[in-house]
Structure 1
Amino acid sequence: MPEHAPQPVERELPTEESRDLIALVRDIVEREIAPRAADEEAEGRFPREIFSLLSEAGLLGLPYDSEYGGGDQPYEVYLQVLEELAAARLTVGLGVSVHSLACHALAGYGTKDQQGEHLSAMLGGGLLGAYCLSEPASGSDAASLRTKAVRDGDDWIITGTKAWITHGGVADFYTVLARTGGAGPKGITAFLVPGDAEGLSAAAPEKKMGMKGSPTAQVHFDDVRVSDARRLGEEGQGFSIALAALDAGRLGIAACSMGVAQAALDAALGYALERKQFGRPISDFQGLRFMLADMATQIEAGRSLYLAAARLRDAGKPFSKQAAMAKLFCTDAAMRVTTDAVQVLGGYGYTQDFPVERYMREAKVLQIVEGTNQIQRMVIGRHLAGPETR
């Protein structure tokens, strides 16, 4: 191993089981994910077989109850797994986070009968999920969604279009938020819709600047019929279910952000130790060392922030403010770190021969998904000063 090869991140893991889990993840990353990541991202290839492998290894249901095939792992551990996966390939790390988000409504609000029928297959049966909240005209203002679900006897008929759906068109199930009542957040209900439901279709994937291997598409519901047995929670409870899921999902994005940032730092440091100018490695120059120091400090700070929020969640304490802070800080830090990594490599950093340009393109979307960082500031502000008055 070259002297400058990146050392594995020192993880804060509470048990021997969790340490073995990280070792398993690192083995899968080294053998199956990292060697193919750059080529498959350039080709826009979705690695469905990797998600099947992760499911077989028990890595798609880590924070959920083992009674239904979950891993019984605290969020403190689950998020560090996400970081490891995202450092190798964001398509995989963020994909696992989205799958976990799609399972949240059933795991947290479904009945015992619903959980017994569906949850085991979702957590460890090779299935892949998607989460359908955003729409073409309602992104940050999610409570204004227009997709409708109309009662028809013991069934519901869902009509509308969801937008920006990760795994759109390849998911086996969709957690869908639809309007069943009047305007505003109290008229929204959650449903579990199978991916092969009649009337469900996906548009062509969006052409994105990054994460080209992860399909993001509009999903159309053309009179999709689902039974009332697939309604999750009470009628009108869907928006509160969605917000609870997003609090947890924001921590997933924070962890993924630190994975991408760590990968960028490792690449920049390795290059700086090898690249020589004026007869010595560029890492000897103070200007570069200060950049690397700032990058490392932002990563350590972001990692500490998301882990602190995760421990609050694991203890059953409120963590919404801390989740917004972690998402805001970690994604902004990832954008700064990846941009600086490109600068460290100079002209080479701007080419596709090195991975840092991909990390920079991928980091940008992390400031947007699971609530833009402007929304995170609004959430934090409400916790600090209360809601705005008009």
Structure 2
Amino acid sequence: MSSPNATVAAPAGIAQILTEAPEAAAARLSGRLAAQAAATDQEGNFPTEEFQWLRAAGLLAAPLARSLGGADLMQPAHTLDLLRTLKHIGRGNLAVGRVYEGHANALMLLQLYGQPDQIGRWAADAREGHLFGVWNTEAQDGVQLEPLENGRYRLLGSKTFGSGAGHLTRPLITGKLPDGGWQMFILPTDEQPTGLDTSFWRPLGMRATASFRVDLTNAEIGPEDLLGQPGDYYHQPGFSGGAIRFAAVQLGAAEAVFDETRRFLRALGRTDDPYQRMRLGELAVLIESGNLWLRGAAEHAARPATDAEATVAYANLMRTAIEDICLKVLPLAERCVGARGLLRPEPFERLHRDLTHYLRQPAPDAAVADAGRFVLQHSEPAHSLWNA
């Protein structure tokens, strides 16, 4: 483990303001991210340069409200823009997409539950280029908030799967209060000590996310760092409904597999093979199905009458469908490219590892079972089930 006094340097420079739509900026950067992905694919590494590109494009501020200098990406009416932005970043580099999705999630939560002065302060941090994220997962030594006499709190314990550890300067973290309440707070890691156990992260894929175990023991926070009320983190539909965001990143990786498969076959002159044509047709069906799910999720999120239960159920359907699409894309692409295509420096090996690992999101069976419970409890015909 690194020294418990290890700190994170604040970002250099000021983030640029968006001069184009977030989706267009992400699409423009996608190829550049892909070209750099192999260079960062090392355990303990992090796509530092890539996030400088996102900063320069204004994408770190994009999830903020327009009044805060952003592009309103987290508003329901702009859900499709958000999902496509995430997809393009994931298409370029799944590790970058994973960390950026966490950044967007944190900005959504702070805008939803923060006090006006907190929102203004944290929004300024995002505009200046600070990287946010969400650290919620923990093991037996989970994070606790110990009250001090001066009204501040001393932190005890650790988080696991702390994506971006050592690079996030404003992680949103959850911890347990003495009364058992589950409290969100944002820790300025460029000012407070954290210890990083890099040996925790020995993954199949997603090597460059730096998802270490983070020891927060002896860091201190004040009331101004607490976000919302105890239990707010798990409020629905925000908690489970957010699955549509990581599913969009996953679909981006599936699109990258599709694009690389076509490129590889063209380079080999195999485009006239009838079996390869059949496989590419099947891949095209899968990819377009995923894009239709993105549109459906966005339309559902934009409906003002949609209740929380229906939103969660639809998000569970969408994440299940995208997972199934990705799990079908991978073996089809393998058959197309054969053993030669799975040799480095071809990108398939990394794409396959990264996507396989990132698909292992928590509780996949419970998600689809919850969607089944919802449809069993409602009697509307199928054509209007999600419009009620």
Task: Please indicate the TM-score interval, normalised by the length of the shorter structure.
Answer: 0.7 to 0.9
* Paired residue type of 1:97: E
Contact map agreement 2:250 2:359 (CA 8 A) in 1: no
Which residue is equivalent to 1:373?
364
Kindly provide the CA deviation profile for residues 71-95 of structure 1, in whole angstroms up to 9, marking residues without a partner as x. Answer: 1231211211111111111122222
Corresponding residue of 2:117 = 113
Query: Which amino acid is the alignment partner of residue 27 of structure 1?
Result: R
Structure 1 residue 192: Cα displacement: 1.2
Partner residue, 1:24: 25
Identity between Structure 1 and Structure 2 (%) = 21
Q: List aligned pairs for 1:31-70, cutoff 5 A.
A: 32-41=32-41, 45-70=45-70
- The residue type paired with residue 26 of structure 1 is A
Match of 2:144 among 139, 148, 155: 148
Residue aligning to 1:247: 241
Structure 2, unmatched stretches of 5+, are 1-17, 378-388
Counterparts in 2 of 1:183-262, with a 5 A limit? 187-204=181-198, 206-240=201-235, 244-248=238-242, 250-262=243-255
Aligned mates of 2:44, 2:145 — CA distance in 1: 34
Q: CA offset at residue 53 of structure 1?
A: 2.6
> C-alpha distance in 2, partners of 1:357/1:91?
15
Could you tell me which residue of structure 1 aligns to residue 9 of structure 2? none
The 5-angstrom pairing of residues 177-188 of structure 1 reads 177-182=174-179, 187-188=181-182
- Report how many residues are paired: 350
Tell me the distance in 2 between the aligned counterparts of 1:22 and 1:306. Answer: 14
Query: Partner of 2:221: helix, strand, or coil?
Result: strand
Are the counterparts in 2 of residues 271 and 345 from structure 1 also a CA contact under 8 Å? yes
Conservation of the 8 A alpha-carbon contact between 1:148 and 1:159: yes
- If asked which structure has higher relative contact order (CA below 8 Å, sep 6+), I would say 2
Aligned partner of 1:135 in structure 2 is 138
Distance in 1 (CA, whole Å) between partners of 2:213 and 2:376 is 37
1:166 shift after superposition: 0.9
Q: Work out whether residues 202 and 220 of structure 1, in 8 Å CA contact, stay in contact via their aligned partners in 2.
A: yes
Runs of 4+ in 1 over 6 A off after TM superposition: none
1:323 to 315, 324, 337: 315
* Maintained 8 Å contact 2:183/2:227: yes
SS at 1:130 equivalent: strand
Whole-Å Cα distance in 1 between the matches of residues 360 and 204 of structure 2? 13
Q: 1:385 to 1:177 in 2, by over 3 A?
A: farther
- Tell whether the 8 Å contact from 1:102 to 1:130 is kept in structure 2 after alignment: yes
Instruction: Report whether the alignment pairs 1:300 with 2:288.
Output: yes
1:265 aligns with 2:258: yes
Q: Report the counterpart of residue 374 of structure 2 in structure 1.
A: 383
Map of 2:298 onto structure 1: 310
* Structure 1 unaligned spans of 5+: 1-16, 138-144
Query: Compared with structure 1, are the counterparts of its residues 166 and 375 closer, same or farther at alpha carbon in structure 2 (3 Å cutoff)?
Result: farther
Q: CA deviation at 1:42?
A: 5.2
Larger proportion of strand: 1
Q: Name the amino acid aligned to 2:134.
A: Y
Alignment match, 2:173: 176
TM-score (norm: length of structure 1): 0.82
Q: 1:222 to 1:21 in 2, by over 3 A?
A: closer
Cα drift, residue 197 of structure 1? 4.5
Question: By how many angstroms is 1:375 displaced?
Answer: 3.4
Q: Is the 8 A contact 1:133 1:162 kept in 2?
A: yes
Alpha-carbon separation, structure 1, partners of 2:27 and 2:354: 21
Q: Secondary structure at the match of 1:213?
A: helix
- State the alpha-carbon separation in 1 of the partners of residues 370 and 376 from structure 2: 10
Whole-Å Cα distance in 2 between the matches of residues 291 and 211 of structure 1? 27
1:169/1:201 contact within 8 Å kept: no
Secondary structure at the aligned position of 1:194 is classed as coil
Map of 2:352 onto structure 1: 360
Task: Give the structure 1 partner of residue 8 of structure 2.
Answer: none
Distance 1:160 1:198 in 2: 14
Residue aligning to 2:163: 166
Query: CA–CA distance in 2 between the matches of 1:292 and 1:384?
Result: 34
The one of 263, 276, 299 aligned to 1:288: 276
Give the counterpart letter for 2:250 in structure 1: S
1:87 is aligned, of 74, 91, 105, to 91
